[in-house]
Amino acid sequence: MTQPIKLSGKDLFNGRQLLGPDKVLILDKSGRVADIVDKNEAGGDIQELDGILSPGFVNTHCHLELSHMKGMIPEKTGLPAFLTAVMTRRGAPSPDTDAQLAAAETAMWEQGISAVGDICNGTATLPQKQQGRLYYHSFIECMGFIDAAAGQRFEQSLAVYRQFQETISPQHRCSLAPHAPYSVSATLFGLLAGLENNTPLTIHNQESEAENILYRQKTGPFLEFYEHFGMDISGFSAGHASSLQACLPYLSGSPLLLVHNTFSAEADMLAAQERALPVYWCLCPLANLYIEDRLPDIDLLRRTGCTVALGTDSLASNHQLSIWAEIQAIRERYPEIPLAELLQWATFNGAQALGIGDRYGSFEQGMQPGVVVIGEAGVTRVV
């Protein structure tokens, strides 16, 4: 019989709470959780680690396919200018792209990330994902703000989706996702809403005040953005309370992961919380600081009882892909939030948001979430 792995640290976080220093995490050889026991019942061969033990992190929002854009886009320009820069500079995959994707994935692995919700416009990330080191839920993105092109855009995304379904290993999953309220027309939203078993849903939400202004008044910086790309948006009508409240009716069929939420107000949070199915609020603070130089109202999210998860966004809008770095950014500005709550956002809540709570995000018996140790110098992966 192979020996179990016994790990102990300065504290043990199980996905929901800190259990203290006198606990031992017991894993089988494959890293599956067997038990958590008191130290005096654990027997010998305990590895003592210099930090807090935690399940591997869940990065609920990434764009691995943009990994070649690190450092290319200027900071703090606001979202419409950022998007214009990404769309005009992202370019075609180069011979270096595969190596850049692999390096980005290795960095996530080393930073303790075990599972990723990854936005995809094409199939560039498929070969990397087939290697199976991390779990990926691939969100195949669908966009097109011109109503007349909705059918064609929908078919394009479905074609990418089918390639993922045919190619990717069975333990990985994918779903189709609308990009954002300012880039998806009503007809396209309707086509996506008609899909069965398309779960979970995700959407970039209220990343910029420009998005709310567009939906309330049909004015603001997005009009310039459409003009720059020669888009006729005469079919779009405003007069809504906010972009989120206008789009929620299209997003009712599945658990929903709302990403960014930088300009979400209390009325938006309450409207989303009224849904019958769960809603998760993904924060990508370092990308928000990179693009808009502002953070979401995290106090308000907590006060209204929103379930929060964390994401890194892409290397186009972040200097690294590290959930621990995102936690540090929040702690600097919100030192009163308990560490256990932040770690729950990074583990348990993220796994629930991606529908993988049966394997990731906690140290329940039978789970295989990976193990990280959080020490003075940062995060190290143990298993």
Minimum CB separation of residue 116 from Zn ion in Å reads 12
Minimum CB separation of residue 107 from Zn ion in Å reads 18
For Zn ion, which is the closer residue by CB, 172 or 260?
A: 260
Instruction: Say which DSSP state 73 is in.
Output: S
From 10-18, 219-227, 305-313, 318-326, give the range in contact with Zn ion by CB under 5 A.
305-313
For Zn ion, which is the closer residue by CB, 71 or 305?
A: 71
From 211-219, 241-249, 310-318, 360-368, give the range in contact with Zn ion by CB under 5 A.
310-318
139 sits in which H/E element: strand 135-142
For Zn ion, which is the closer residue by CB, 11 or 313?
A: 313
For Zn ion, which is the closer residue by CB, 105 or 313?
A: 313
Minimum CB separation of residue 6 from Zn ion in Å reads 40
Residue 193's identity, in one-letter code, is: A
Closest CA relative to residue 322, chosen from 109, 11, 178: 109
For Zn ion, which is the closer residue by CB, 8 or 262?
A: 262
Minimum CB separation of residue 119 from Zn ion in Å reads 6
| Residues in 243-282 at the binding interface with Zn ion, rule: CB under 5 A | none
For Zn ion, which is the closer residue by CB, 211 or 313?
A: 313
Minimum CB separation of residue 202 from Zn ion in Å reads 9
**In the complex, which residue's CB is closest to Zn ion?**
313
For Zn ion, which is the closer residue by CB, 86 or 103?
A: 86
What are the backbone angles phi and psi of residue 34, rounded to the nearest 5°?
Answer: -95, -40
CA 38 to the chain's CA centroid: 34
Q: Which residues contact 344 (CB under 8 A, 6 or more apart)?
A: 15, 16
Note whether 31 and 370 are within 8 A (CB). Answer: yes
Minimum CB separation of residue 313 from Zn ion in Å reads 5
Number of residues that bind Zn ion (CB under 5 A): 1
From 236-244, 308-316, 338-346, 368-376, give the range in contact with Zn ion by CB under 5 A.
308-316
Note whether 308 and 358 are within 8 A (CB). Answer: no
For Zn ion, which is the closer residue by CB, 187 or 206?
A: 206
Note whether 107 and 319 are within 8 A (CB). Answer: no
Minimum CB separation of residue 62 from Zn ion in Å reads 8
Minimum CB separation of residue 312 from Zn ion in Å reads 9
Three-state DSSP class for residue 235: coil
Closest CA relative to residue 242, chosen from 221, 220, 213: 213
From 121-129, 261-269, 306-314, 360-368, give the range in contact with Zn ion by CB under 5 A.
306-314
Cis peptide before 127 (omega within 30 of 0): no
Note whether 32 and 366 are within 8 A (CB). Answer: yes
From 27-35, 143-151, 307-315, 361-369, give the range in contact with Zn ion by CB under 5 A.
307-315
For Zn ion, which is the closer residue by CB, 246 or 257?
A: 257
Q: Which residues contact 176 (CB under 8 A, 6 or more apart)?
A: 139, 140, 142, 157, 158, 161, 192, 195, 198
From 48-56, 65-73, 136-144, 311-319, give the range in contact with Zn ion by CB under 5 A.
311-319
Q: Ramachandran region of residue 335, left (φ > 0), alpha (ψ -120 to 50) or beta?
A: alpha
Minimum CB separation of residue 66 from Zn ion in Å reads 9
Note whether 354 and 345 are within 8 A (CB). Answer: no
Q: How far, in Å, CA of 313 to CA of 354, rounded?
A: 15
Interface contacts to Zn ion, rule CB under 5 A? 313
